[in-house]
Structure 1
Amino acid sequence: MTPSIGNDDDLTDLQRQALGKVRRLISGEATIADVEDAKAWQARSAAHKEAFAFAGRLWGQLGPAGQNVLARSGEDLLAPARPAFRPSRRLLVGGALAACAAYVVVRPPLQLWPSMSELAADHRTAAGEQKSVRLVDGASIELNTRTSVALAKSATNTTTNQIELIDGEALIDTGRQLTSPLTVIAGNGRVSATGARFNVRHDGTLSCVTCLAGVVDFARFGATRRLEARQQYTYGGQNPGAVAAADLTAVTAWQEGLLVFHQTPLAKVVAEINRYRPGKIVLMNASLGERSVNARFRVQNVDEIMTLAQQVFGAKVTSLPGGLVFLS
């Protein structure tokens, strides 16, 4: 059961300890010793395991917002438990929303919950979910996992003439009925096309446009270029980007429920797989992340990466509640 934000019950000593363990694990400074300590702590008893699961769910629901609320109330989640603290519904809800407003506009740590911009999207998919959106003007959008888009209508308010890819990956088919170009914004780039199919991906720092059929016009920083079928343009930040030949099979494999990797560093494989599963796989060993992977995974079975890491690379796998997995 998901913990209630408005629960007035006291946090138990074990829950306080568990929250400290979880905060340490996702702080960005966790070590193997911290992982082993958390695993040993939750294995002490069923009560410890239940408290750890509670802490993981609570952190996932409130994140730093909830932490800030408790901190303002004089609580230190890493310190020994203090006398009973009774957070009121008004404190938790009001404080969490205030803290969230300043925090979730950027990418949340570990992507354990959606950002504010993602929550405001017209269409959004969860981890492992895909969705088709048909537009009234004959165009269509196929949303991949963890994808958010916002739609803008034309001046006549009868057709969609602009799509903003807030985050994730989408395949756009403009159809044959458009009389004016459909525009897709991804990061600081803008794609315009009629009579074309193209795949667009944006993860907050890096974007990629792949022309699958027809031609697309791309504009960025006042410069324009045209992409033809089987061409791909990758860009990010102030980087000028580059055009390259595209492997269409790999680019569109997600539509067939597949992830295809050719000589791909394990770190990149893990980053991609994290988009398709709840929780987070964390690499604790930089040299392990450099190992090359040749593999195909069904999106329903992406956790097979743990078996591969163990059997092929000799990695140690440590699993914790909430889908958190550490590879070392």
Structure 2
Amino acid sequence: MTAHDNQVAIEAEARAWLIKLFNDSPDEQLKAEFSHWLNRSDKHRQAFIRSEKLWRQLGLLDNLAELSDMLPPQPIQRSKPSINVSAWLGMAAAAILLVTGINWQHKTLPVSQQVVQQFQTPEHTNTAITLSDGSRLVSAGQARFSFERKDNERYLAMQSGTLYFDIAHDVAHPFVISSAGSRIQVVGTEFEISLQDDQMRLSVHEGLVQLSALDTSRAEQVVMLAAGQQQLANSEGRLLGEVRQFDSKSTLAWLQGRLSYDGTPLAQVMAEINRYRTTPIEIEDPELAVLQITTSCRLDQIEQMLSGLLLAHDLRLVQQSGRTLIQQSE
């Protein structure tokens, strides 16, 4: 097969995937198969981007008809996609366009050798990602993590950032997360992990999540969190405080494209703003770190919100030795 013929075949596969995802109700196996196909090469990703862009330009139903005519004759039941399917495909497309640093190994590997996906998401926006097992993640601004399937586990190592997880249910293969000295294990559920400074925050939105602190100098620390519960741990593998309830509407507002705070310490506000900024803002004054902040904004209004916050609390930003500091105005 010539290079041209191979490219034509890939383009046809991309169109077929687009139609299949919109005309079927994709289960976890279909999502995993699509994710595997999508990430086989840059040619696959670019072909799907072009098909998805064409869909957006022409409109969903018209585009489905046009794409169907391009494929070999086959019975296709056309129907308007459900909101859930449309949203899921949108997340897949966002992952193609926004995720950087994905590293797939394509050559045949020995059984004992594992394929590791490396992810680094950009700042300024939320990024949606579908892993090869069908699990869905959303990154709040910049984050770094890796994913692999090894032995009987699905394993994700989280280095930085904030991630929301919607884990594909698979009893035979638990989903394990290594994060800042802690081990999180689930089968299928929804939760958020946020790494800020030397601290990890686990917030469970749905289902049950087991958190184990890995500090071997202490007695085993294991807690089971249910929906609406939250736990903190430090990077040394120690649980901080007791399990507590959390306000999901405020904590998870970023999933809806907003940041929302009600009497929140400035240190936490700055940490979350920094997820979306190229240059982080630092707080050196401990008295400012605990300043209570009440505000709300869309993600595309962060800089305007920051300006208003500075004005309301008589604060200023200072550039010092390549760092951006927030200080009380003189």
Asked if Structure 1 and Structure 2 have the same fold, meaning a TM-score greater than 0.5 normalized by the shorter chain, the answer is yes
User: Letter of the aligned partner of 2:295 in structure 1?
Assistant: A
2:125 — aligned with what?
A: 129
1:234 — aligned with what?
A: 232
Alignment of 1:2-21 (within 5 A): none
CA contact (8 A) 1:273 1:302 kept: yes
What is the percentage of aligned positions where both structures have the same residue? 18
User: Letter of the aligned partner of 1:264 in structure 2?
Assistant: T
SS at match of 1:311: helix
* Structure 2 Cα separation of the partners of residues 188 and 321 of structure 1: 32
CA contact (8 A) 2:282 2:326 kept: yes
Q: Judging changes above 3 Å, is the alpha-carbon distance between structure 1 residues 304 and 320 closer, same or farther for their aligned structure 2 residues?
A: farther
Q: What value does the CA root-mean-square deviation take over the aligned residues?
A: 2.9
SS at match of 1:208: strand
- The alpha carbon displacement at 1:144 in A equals 1.8
Q: Judging changes above 3 Å, is the alpha-carbon distance between structure 1 residues 203 and 309 closer, same or farther for their aligned structure 2 residues?
A: closer
1:244 — aligned with what?
A: 244
Q: Which runs of 5+ in 2 are unaligned?
A: 1-100, 102-115, 215-219
- The alpha carbon displacement at 1:155 in A equals 3.1
Q: Judging changes above 3 Å, is the alpha-carbon distance between structure 1 residues 305 and 288 closer, same or farther for their aligned structure 2 residues?
A: farther
Q: Judging changes above 3 Å, is the alpha-carbon distance between structure 1 residues 155 and 316 closer, same or farther for their aligned structure 2 residues?
A: closer
1:103 — aligned with what?
A: none
* Structure 2 Cα separation of the partners of residues 290 and 155 of structure 1: 45
* Structure 1 Cα separation of the partners of residues 276 and 320 of structure 2: 18
CA contact (8 A) 1:306 1:317 kept: no
Q: In the TM superposition, what whole-angstrom CA distance separates every residue of 1:61-100 from its partner, at most 9, and x where no partner exists?
A: xxxxxxxxxxxxxxxxxxxxxxxxxxxxxxxxxxxxxxxx
CA contact (8 A) 2:266 2:291 kept: yes
Q: Judging changes above 3 Å, is the alpha-carbon distance between structure 1 residues 238 and 304 closer, same or farther for their aligned structure 2 residues?
A: same
2:175 — aligned with what?
A: 182
1:223 — aligned with what?
A: 221
CA contact (8 A) 2:284 2:325 kept: no
Alignment of 1:75-114 (within 5 A): none
1:172 — aligned with what?
A: 165
- The alpha carbon displacement at 1:269 in A equals 1.8
Q: Which runs of 5+ in 1 are unaligned?
A: 1-113, 115-119
SS at match of 1:276: coil
* Structure 2 Cα separation of the partners of residues 294 and 194 of structure 1: 36
* Structure 2 Cα separation of the partners of residues 251 and 322 of structure 1: 31
Q: Which has the higher contact order (CA 8 A, sep 6+)?
A: 1
User: Letter of the aligned partner of 1:203 in structure 2?
Assistant: Q
* Structure 2 Cα separation of the partners of residues 200 and 182 of structure 1: 14
2:134 — aligned with what?
A: 138
CA contact (8 A) 1:138 1:178 kept: no
Q: Judging changes above 3 Å, is the alpha-carbon distance between structure 1 residues 308 and 235 closer, same or farther for their aligned structure 2 residues?
A: same
User: Letter of the aligned partner of 2:261 in structure 1?
Assistant: F
* Structure 2 Cα separation of the partners of residues 175 and 263 of structure 1: 35
* Structure 2 Cα separation of the partners of residues 281 and 162 of structure 1: 32
* Structure 1 Cα separation of the partners of residues 132 and 139 of structure 2: 17
CA contact (8 A) 1:167 1:204 kept: no
Q: Judging changes above 3 Å, is the alpha-carbon distance between structure 1 residues 314 and 137 closer, same or farther for their aligned structure 2 residues?
A: closer
* Structure 1 Cα separation of the partners of residues 244 and 155 of structure 2: 26
User: Letter of the aligned partner of 2:182 in structure 1?
Assistant: G
CA contact (8 A) 1:231 1:245 kept: yes
Question: Normalising by structure 1, what TM-score?
Answer: 0.56
1:301 — aligned with what?
A: 301
Greater share of strand residues, 1 or 2? 2
4+ residue stretches of structure 1 with deviation over 6 A?
319-323
Alignment of 1:311-322 (within 5 A): 311-318=311-318
Q: Judging changes above 3 Å, is the alpha-carbon distance between structure 1 residues 136 and 300 closer, same or farther for their aligned structure 2 residues?
A: same
SS at match of 2:315: coil
User: Letter of the aligned partner of 2:177 in structure 1?
Assistant: V
Q: Judging changes above 3 Å, is the alpha-carbon distance between structure 1 residues 320 and 278 closer, same or farther for their aligned structure 2 residues?
A: farther
SS at match of 1:277: coil
CA contact (8 A) 2:140 2:254 kept: yes
* Structure 2 Cα separation of the partners of residues 291 and 134 of structure 1: 38
Q: In the TM superposition, what whole-angstrom CA distance separates every residue of 1:256-308 from its partner, at most 9, and x where no partner exists?
A: 11111111222332232122112133446554444321111222221124422
SS at match of 1:302: helix
Question: Normalising by structure 2, what TM-score?
Answer: 0.55
